[in-house]
Amino acid sequence: MRIGAIEAGGTKFVCGVGDEAGNIEDKASFPTGHPEKTMERAIQYFNGKGVEAIGIGSFGPVDLDPASPTYGYITTTPKPGWAGFPFLDTLRQAFDVPFGWDTDVNAAAFGEAMWGAAKGLGSCLYFTVGTGIGIGVYTEGNLAHGLVHPEGGHMLTRRHVEDHADGQPFPGICPYHGDCLEGMASGPAIEKRWKRKGSELPNDHPAWALEAYYVGQAVTNAILMLSPKKIILGGGVMHQTQLFPMIRTEIQNNLNGYVSAKAISARIDEYIVPPGLGDDAGLCGALALGLKAAGRMQQQKP
């Protein structure tokens, strides 16, 4: 069975074709431009490839409620042309196959749960720390949707007392909340605070202690709230691998022994991990969404 997959990011679209075992056989990527043009390229990509279902993990916010008249739409993004765009309907008009549809981070969590670092566990969280911060939630064998969908990247964080820029407390950059997690710890927040891109800062720069402080808080909150069996940290900023031990230490200090689990006290190196699927987590997750839509994915039980 050949399944199509789309990882729709705010800056780039990745389209691919894969099989039931999660192997990506082919992929292509192009910039996320104006919606009509971008969808045209995606349709062109799948034309003639014989896919029997297509899964999509999209940047958002998106409408995930099948009973809603705007199911499959991008809802309120500031990205020009995309707010209110009927993403799913546009593809449905081109291909008469079942479609899977979810957020980009939920897709990545699903991919990791099926074939990656959280395989067989029944629960995991996928954090992306990049241009934005997003948290995908896979719990009790299902992706969490709820009222809209989780927006953990904007959770409120406690500010670090020494977090200053230009002699003032750093106010954060989220246009909605200022100093939420994304406002304090996304790639652009690092760049705004230090006036250099994160990739240009040395490994021992004070930026990374602050970054670990904020991401560590968010992961701590997530552990307390959802008790996931694995936490996967991906995205461009997490290419700074020195962050992993720093974040693990923050979490252990925050929890202070309260959550009684060997995964935290003794094996945290295996609990807080990079994506098992590397940069393909999102695309593999979209593939898994397609397989599920085709009725070919067994639901995992915890």
Cα dihedral across residues 229, 183, 283, 46: positive or negative: positive
Beta-bridged to residue 8, according to DSSP, are 13, 58
What distance in Å separates the CA atoms of residue 264 and residue 93, rounded to the nearest whole number?
48
Interface segment toward ligand ADP; rule CB under 6 A; list 123-131, 150-158, 175-183, 284-292 = 123-131
Interface segment toward ligand ADP; rule CB under 6 A; list 34-42, 128-136, 147-155, 225-233 = 128-136
> In this structure, are residues 32 and 83 in contact, taking their beta carbons and an 8 Å threshold?
no
**Contact positions with ligand ADP (CB under 6 A) in 186-205:** 187-188, 197-199
> In this structure, are residues 37 and 13 in contact, taking their beta carbons and an 8 Å threshold?
no
Residue 105: strand, helix, or coil: helix
Extract the tokens encoding 187: 């790639």
Based on the number of CB atoms within 10 Å of its own CB, is 175 exposed (0-12), middle (13-18) or buried (19 or more)? Answer: exposed
Based on the number of CB atoms within 10 Å of its own CB, is 205 exposed (0-12), middle (13-18) or buried (19 or more)? Answer: middle
Residue 8 binding target from ligand ADP, Zn ion, none, CB below 5 to 8 Å by type: none
Place of tokens 């639901």: 299
Asked if 239 interacts with ligand ADP (CB under 6 A), we say yes
Contact positions toward Zn ion, by CB under 5 A?
154, 174, 176-177, 180, 182
What distance in Å separates the CA atoms of residue 7 and residue 128, rounded to the nearest whole number?
14
Residue 180 binding target from Zn ion, ligand ADP, none, CB below 5 to 8 Å by type: Zn ion
Backbone phi, psi, residue 68, to 5°: -85, 145
Asked if 236 interacts with ligand ADP (CB under 6 A), we say yes
Interface segment toward ligand ADP; rule CB under 6 A; list 68-76, 89-97, 129-137, 256-264 = 129-137
Residue 199 binding target from Zn ion, ligand ADP, none, CB below 5 to 8 Å by type: ligand ADP
For the bound state, the minimum distance from the C-beta of residue 15 to ligand ADP, rounded and expressed in Å, comes to 15
Interface segment toward ligand ADP; rule CB under 6 A; list 9-17, 61-69, 268-276, 283-291 = 9-17
Residue among 195 and 301 whose Cβ is closer to ligand ADP: 195
Extract the tokens encoding 174: 């989220």
Residue among 58 and 240 whose Cβ is closer to ligand ADP: 240
For the bound state, the minimum distance from the C-beta of residue 189 to Zn ion, rounded and expressed in Å, comes to 10
Residue nearest to ligand ADP (CB): 187
- Name the site residues for ligand ADP (rule: CB under 6 A): 9-11, 128, 130-132, 187-188, 197-199, 235-237, 239-240
